[in-house]
């Protein structure tokens, strides 16, 4: 978890947005995951 936080911080400083999903979340509700991703893309346009 600490490694993830450090990596997230470095990526955000580089202007990259990090989105994380649990594997079971993707398997059980792919549509909601895609909705989250597309929502973030739409916000940035």
**33 exposed, middle or buried (CB, 10 Å; 0-12, 13-18, 19+)?**
middle
> Is it the case that residue 42 has pLDDT exceeding 90?
yes
pLDDT-based confidence at residue 1 (cuts at 50, 70, 90): confident
Q: What is the DSSP letter of 14?
A: T
pTM of the model: 0.73
Query: CA-to-CA distance for 30 and 24, rounded, in angstroms?
Result: 9
Express each pLDDT in 2-41 by its tens digit. 998 999 999 999 999 999 999 999 999 999 999 999 999 9
Query: CA-to-CA distance for 23 and 13, rounded, in angstroms?
Result: 26
Query: CA-to-CA distance for 11 and 32, rounded, in angstroms?
Result: 24
């Amino acid at each position: 978890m600490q490694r993830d936080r450090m990596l997230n911080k470095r990526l955000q400083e580089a202007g990259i947005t990090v989105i994380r999903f649990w594997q079971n979340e993707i398997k059980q509700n792919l549509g909601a995951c895609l909705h989250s991703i597309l929502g973030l893309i739409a916000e940035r346009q």
